[in-house]
Structure 1
């Protein structure tokens, strides 16, 4: 139900803007042409027009030749500024590389690239999220490109479409606002925010046919460790133990082969859906930092145990979109 205090004309204005924005095509690369660049006078431009009208009327009434000269000189400058301002955006190419994933609560940073194929530079071009005033300004060199950064904070985890952007300039006189609206097709992936102080990793489960009970230390490390032997891979060294006691030990690969570390949604505690996902995200980061192989169980999703950066990204993506 609409607010009764909202004027009817404003509601129609909002609907018209929403309808028009829905018609803007989705594209990560946009070439600005005469068909998608708009221009209107600014408040200063309207004031200049009113001043010119007063000067013209006074010059006609008092037959002031210098008044005519000043009026038409200022009008010519304003008209030239309109052409220059429109040409500052026309012919520019906008490109948005895929945004980097982030954890919930962080800022999604967009690197907007402005490419100029013209032999002359373009000045004072601003980029901002639509309906905001946080502008990022840049001059684009002749035959080159410039990059500006704008950011926004996604509301929650998941896959979010990048909001519409406004690109504008008021160069050279500030009397005309030249702008375009750009709706990128890119999406940003937001992982659950890791729990700040998660409990230790869950106990390892025996692999099929191993015949051994799984176990884990209270610190989240597997029990199977042995003294360091020359030639052991660096990823097998238990660095936390070395930092505490100065003893250099490595994980027992035979023991690890008999264990399966599963990060299970059902065993993440009675925290609610978002709380469990946050704990699982923290466990994924902890297991990855220790160089462990681990698997992930979510409702309707099971990722087999593995290790490395690819496994970490696979699990975080599943947590973000489940």
Structure 2
């Protein structure tokens, strides 16, 4: 029943990447120590009435007044604060997705002991917000499947100053996070290149995972052509054969993965996309020109960070997998 009520409750909260806390969306309840304090005050009051203890009345009403003041201070610690979400960066499946939240306060006094967490978890990040200032909190969560996933519902709370009351709010950001397939840990070598129009008809597969051939380093060769992996193993500088690069194009597609049933979907497809993801990262690390084919989608050969992100995004959203379950 608790999970169903929480789902129903959060579904009624509008999606916003920025929210200001008011009396309408800030809630307060006594904590376990708060209930114990209330029971203690009740016992003190009954004993003071029964035995006509003036000092008992003084102590009872003094503690009651302190608890009431603490309740107002606790509620005011969250009330009036603004929370802004920093758009999360894309991440690989299974890795921690980190989101940043900026807490803004216009009040002339500091706000102490404010914690934020993903709703339903116990991994809290705590901070203090200075007077008329801002503080930033980072929260991490995991997503195990590729696709475009909504940022989970968040909660903020405080128990300052006495710990007798818990004040909290629930926030549903509208942002989504793009999750790439998890790269295969030990992928096979890159597939052979396809001859360009008018180029050679065949190409030799390289067992080392290098798409293009190599030659001895020549003075003046650009550093991006140096095969540093080979240099680390043999202590000899070698460069890629630029002429061979011009004759062949490196294309990555499902057929090259060699995984049976990849085009039918399911686990084979996810395994193939994981291998393609590893190949994209390997080709980018080697500075190669490479293209990507996924069904009817084709990304022309290119290189660089923008091209890598474009290919990884295509893998994340391949075959209409544009949605995901909330982590």
On whether the aligned pair clears a TM of 0.5, the verdict is: yes
* Contact 2:214/2:239, CA 8 A, preserved across alignment: yes
- Bigger Cα displacement from structure 2, 70-79 vs 106-115: 106-115
Q: Does the alignment pair 1:238 with 2:227?
A: yes
- Bigger Cα displacement from structure 2, 174-183 vs 234-243: 234-243
Whole-angstrom CA distance in 2 between matches of 1:178 and 1:222: 59
Which of 78, 83, 106 is residue 72 of structure 2 equivalent to?
Answer: 83
SS of match in other structure, 2:208: coil
Which of 56, 59, 64 is residue 67 of structure 1 equivalent to?
Answer: 56
Partner residue, 2:148: 159
Whole-angstrom CA distance in 2 between matches of 1:319 and 1:106: 16
- Shift, 1:124, TM fit: 0.7
Moved over 6 A (4+): none
Partner residue, 1:30: 19
Whole-angstrom CA distance in 2 between matches of 1:131 and 1:220: 45
Partner residue, 1:284: 280
Partner residue, 2:36: 47
* Contact 2:190/2:211, CA 8 A, preserved across alignment: no
How has the CA–CA distance of structure 1 residues 105 and 14 changed in structure 2, closer, same or farther, with 3 Å as cutoff? closer
Whole-angstrom CA distance in 2 between matches of 1:48 and 1:240: 67
Whole-angstrom CA distance in 2 between matches of 1:133 and 1:221: 46
Question: Which structure 2 residues correspond to residues 179-190 of structure 1 after superposition, within 5 A?
Answer: 179-190=168-179
Partner residue, 1:174: 163
SS of match in other structure, 2:86: coil
SS of match in other structure, 2:38: helix
- Bigger Cα displacement from structure 2, 49-58 vs 276-285: 49-58
Whole-angstrom CA distance in 1 between matches of 2:234 and 2:48: 93
How has the CA–CA distance of structure 1 residues 176 and 223 changed in structure 2, closer, same or farther, with 3 Å as cutoff? closer
- Shift, 1:70, TM fit: 1.1
- Shift, 1:241, TM fit: 2.9
Question: Which structure 2 residues correspond to residues 80-159 of structure 1 after superposition, within 5 A?
Answer: 80-159=69-148
* Contact 1:122/1:142, CA 8 A, preserved across alignment: yes
Q: Does the alignment pair 1:210 with 2:206?
A: no
Whole-angstrom CA distance in 1 between matches of 2:124 and 2:211: 51
* Contact 1:232/1:250, CA 8 A, preserved across alignment: yes
- Bigger Cα displacement from structure 2, 251-260 vs 19-28: 251-260
Q: Does the alignment pair 1:307 with 2:296?
A: no
- Shift, 1:223, TM fit: 4.2
- Bigger Cα displacement from structure 2, 216-225 vs 83-92: 216-225
- Shift, 1:227, TM fit: 4.0
Whole-angstrom CA distance in 2 between matches of 1:256 and 1:211: 11
* Contact 1:157/1:192, CA 8 A, preserved across alignment: yes
- Bigger Cα displacement from structure 2, 265-274 vs 215-224: 215-224
Which of 313, 323, 326 is residue 317 of structure 1 equivalent to?
Answer: 313
Which of 180, 187, 208 is residue 191 of structure 1 equivalent to?
Answer: 180
Whole-angstrom CA distance in 1 between matches of 2:187 and 2:234: 24
Q: TM-score, normalised by structure 1?
A: 0.91
Q: Unpaired segments of 5 or more residues in structure 2?
A: 261-267, 319-327
Whole-angstrom CA distance in 2 between matches of 1:255 and 1:313: 26
Whole-angstrom CA distance in 2 between matches of 1:98 and 1:18: 24
Whole-angstrom CA distance in 2 between matches of 1:222 and 1:178: 59
What root-mean-square deviation, in Å, do the aligned CA atoms of Structure 1 and Structure 2 show? 1.8
Partner residue, 2:265: none
Whole-angstrom CA distance in 1 between matches of 2:286 and 2:6: 52
- Bigger Cα displacement from structure 2, 117-126 vs 214-223: 214-223
- Alignment deviations for residues 38-76 of structure 1 (CA, whole Å, 9 cap, x no partner): 111112112212222222222222222212111111111
